Amino acid sequence: MEGTWGLLGPEFLPNTRRTRTLGLGASVRAFNDLAVPGLGGVWYGKQLLLAVLGVAVAEDARNGGAKVQNIEVANAIETLACWLAFDGNGWRRDARLRGNNKLHGKDDFSFRRARQRNFYVTQPMRMATVQPLPALGFVESDSVRFNAFRCLAAGKEFIEQATSEYRPFKRTVVDHLTCWAQMKDDRFNSPALRQALSPLNRLPDAAIPVLRERLLQGGMKERREDKERRGRALTWVETLRKDKPGNLTWEHRPQDISENHWHDLRAGALFFAAREAAIATLDALETHIGNQAGGHFFPLGHIPGSLEPELEQLKSAANAYLVFNHADEEARNFCSECVNSNPSGALRSLVRRDEHVLRLVGDEVKPGPAFRGSVNLTIAEDDEEESTPMVEDIPLPPDISFRMRNLYLLNLDLHGELDAWLNPSATGNDA
């Protein structure tokens, strides 16, 4: 069904998808929420605008008699936004855009085409906004389903401030997109619409205070502690933006972050480090199996020397988390398995948690459905992380939740500095 496009999480995607959750999804979400509550996978403002536009336009289109759902409208608007951006920048790739291969060569962007499931990517950026839209008070809903979202006054104000200066085909952006979604007007290639929708164009100045206020005030149903944590985190990344310090360590808590918040951030970093060490161990085991000439299997009774460095790193990282003594039970159980005095026992536990790239058959490790025999790509653990650009030079302590990195980038966007950060050698905006 078109209405379910993009709803499936990574654990339900086809087996060729290289995703290892290791049964740790709840802990991943918990530590990310403790780090920056309500941010989801958002790292620049246009992500939120395109998603809330989808909700508002879908509502207006339904009020006019069209049978459309929020998801298909939001995905179609995102599709159009990325095409307009690619068409404007000469089809150069950018971390803020998706669908370069999927959209290249297409010329029919009527809603009847753009709404189709296979027209665009299977993991649209809209998925990163499912938590932030209600958490920040842009929408309300009785459930976590995107199709159940209803646009609130703050969402409409955000859209108004972000789009009021643009008049595609002598209409407001919302009115034209509503006509488009009702299949009354298929026109889409407009400079005004490109300026309004393109992820490469920063939000207009008038929309920045609205977004900043939402980050600080949050939604009506959000806990006060969550609002305070996000606000303190925003203050901290702003301090980092201004001061540009060198490498930060976990030994010195910044004044902007409370003791409890810092404790949770440190525990999350230790957990993420242990998880990455577990993935590195499984990667090394996969490569070892792939290099065996006598068949694709590995007997657990003998640990080759090539795996010893990864196993030692795993044991060290897991032990560091256990010593820190955080309350997350799932993470504690995982790390307890990893410090098994018998390396074969630790590997057995990891493979049992995998069962995707590698699987356990008796006392032998054999290839799973996503086995390649070598590691030549980054394996994402969480839907949110897939929308995050690779970042190396953000001044944050090691292994911190990716949401803090995302907040740093979002704050750059609020100050009009994101484009220069992403494209330091560019001389201007190509959009």
Give a yes or no: residue 407 inside a domain: yes
Domain co-membership, 231 together with 353: yes
Residue at which a domain ends, from 166, 195, 222: 222
Domain enclosing residue 293, as ranges: 14-37+225-415
Q: What is the pLDDT of residues 373-394, one digit of tens each?
A: 776 544 343 444 445 666 567 8
Domain co-membership, 205 together with 272: no
d(CA 246, CA 266): 19
Domain co-membership, 93 together with 23: no
Assign 142 a pLDDT band (cuts: 50, 70, 90): confident
The number of CA neighbours under 13 Å toward the Cβ of 18 is 15
Q: How high does pLDDT run on average in the chain?
A: 89
Please name the residue that has the structure tokens 């078109």: 2
CB of 206 closer than 8 Å to CB of 166: no
Domain co-membership, 111 together with 192: yes
Give a yes or no: residue 63 inside a domain: yes
Query: Is it the case that residue 57 has pLDDT exceeding 90?
Result: yes
First to last CA, the chain: 34
Q: What is the pLDDT of residues 81-113, one digit of tens each?
A: 999 999 999 999 999 999 999 999 999 999 999
Q: What is the pLDDT of residues 227-279, one digit of tens each?
A: 999 999 999 999 999 988 877 889 999 999 999 999 999 999 999 999 999 99
Domain co-membership, 31 together with 69: no
The pTM assigned to this predicted structure is 0.89
Helices (H), 164-223: 173-181, 191-197, 208-217
Residue 183 gets which letter from DSSP?
T
Assign 290 a pLDDT band (cuts: 50, 70, 90): confident
Domain co-membership, 149 together with 235: no
Give a yes or no: residue 303 inside a domain: yes
Domain co-membership, 26 together with 64: no
Give a yes or no: residue 274 inside a domain: yes
Assign 139 a pLDDT band (cuts: 50, 70, 90): very high
Q: What is the pLDDT of residues 169-227, one digit of tens each?
A: 999 999 999 999 999 999 999 999 999 999 999 999 999 999 999 999 999 999 999 99
For residue 21, the tally of other CB atoms under 10 A from its CB is 18
Assign 2 a pLDDT band (cuts: 50, 70, 90): very low
Strand ranges (E), 21-146: 139-140
Give a yes or no: residue 210 inside a domain: yes
Domain co-membership, 303 together with 267: yes
Domain co-membership, 268 together with 354: yes
Q: In the prediction, which pLDDT does 379 show?
A: 39
The total number of structural domains that make up the chain:
2
Residue at which a domain ends, from 222, 257, 277: 222
Domain co-membership, 214 together with 308: no
Q: Is 427 exposed, middle or buried (0-12, 13-18, 19+ CB in 10 A)?
A: exposed
Domain co-membership, 218 together with 301: no
Domain co-membership, 217 together with 243: no
Q: In the prediction, which pLDDT does 144 show?
A: 87
For residue 88, the tally of other CB atoms under 10 A from its CB is 18
Give a yes or no: residue 422 inside a domain: no
Give a yes or no: residue 288 inside a domain: yes
